[in-house]
Amino acid sequence: MMPEPENCPGVQTPNAGLASACQGCPNQKICSDPNKKLEDPGKALVAAALKNVRNKFLILSGKGGVGKSTITMLLARYLSKKYNENNFGVLDIDICGPSQPRLLGVEGENVHQSGSGWSPVSVDDNVCLMSIGFLLGSPDDAIIWRGPKKNGMIRQFLSEVDWGTLDLLLLDTPPGTSDEHLSVVSYLRENEGEQSLNAIIVTTPQEVALLDVRKEINFCKKQQIPIIGVIENMSSFRCGYCGKSSEIFPAKTGGAKAMCEEMHVPYLGSLPLDPELAKLCDQGEDITTLKSDTVDALDQICQHFATFF
């Protein structure tokens, strides 16, 4: 199938092969055939660009504000130190709210383009990052895009970034199950053979967050994406003065662990809220040297990923 023309109505739309823009297109007969199973030609480009990426983790959350981007950064930082002979990449596909450049301490860096595509920004010797945040004139610029333009950007990130050889690519997604999720899944999910795309779901303990996480789990099951497990973030807070622990978000229904048992998905563990770690994240500093209960809990969670390396 030839590349789509500029005014293509879309190969999966009712007007495919019938619109005025389709006249003279070499794909017209293919698109207008109701018995022909169509596949976005971009999928082959993505497969070629990511052929040397062994594993891909979608970091998902049903509700916004549960710390999904922070968890993505924590996993990238900790895994890259724990497995320092492996290579890691982070792709920020939260198009309207890119936060990885700040969290990973590379805000203001420039993306360079070469004959092999965009070069992701180096964070560490074995960690690189690509985000639309690098392409904005100012961090305060608003991105006011509809779904098709977001999807086009995601396709560019997947097919035109020179990731090289990676053992793991972490994809930081926006909350919910919207255009961005459908787009990235359609490009990365293998139709046959071993699946390299997996999902990690982030939540907080309260029921208002768990309600949306259940939807996220069902999204993964319908899309046939294996779920590695659920991480419960901000499970408790330990006061730096009195030493007592408090539940900021009380788990009235048993929290993420009870929900995982109910929905038959793995529970990876919980991370307590740590003000010192939050401060380092906001400054883009490396958190792996911090002595904290949260970092200790992160180490326990990261042991679940040993089989991927």
Binding residues for [4Fe-4S] cluster: 8, 22, 25, 31, 239, 242
Of 71, 59, 86, 78, the C-alpha closest to 308 is 86
Find the length of the chain: 309
C-alpha distance from residue 158 to each of 46, 103, 193, 226 (Å): 6, 21, 20, 20
Token code pair at residue 225: 């994406």
* Binding-site entries: 8, 22, 25, 31, 62-69, 239, 242
The contacts of residue 228 (CB under 8 Å, 6+ apart) are 57, 198, 199, 200, 266, 268, 304, 305
Longest Cα–Cα distance in the chain: 75
Identify the residue whose tokens are 């326990």: 300
d(CA 159, CA 245): 46
Of 289, 234, 285, 183, the C-alpha closest to 71 is 234
- Tell me which DSSP letter residue 37 carries: P
What count of Cα atoms within 13 Å lies in the side-chain half-sphere of residue 188?
28
Helix %, strand %, coil % for the chain, to 5?
35, 20, 45
Distance of CA 38 to the CA centre of its chain: 26
* Binding-site entries for ATP: 62-69
Coil, strand or helix at 22: helix
How many helices (H) and strands (E) in the chain?
A: 10, 11
Token code pair at residue 309: 């390396």
- Tell me which DSSP letter residue 12 carries: T
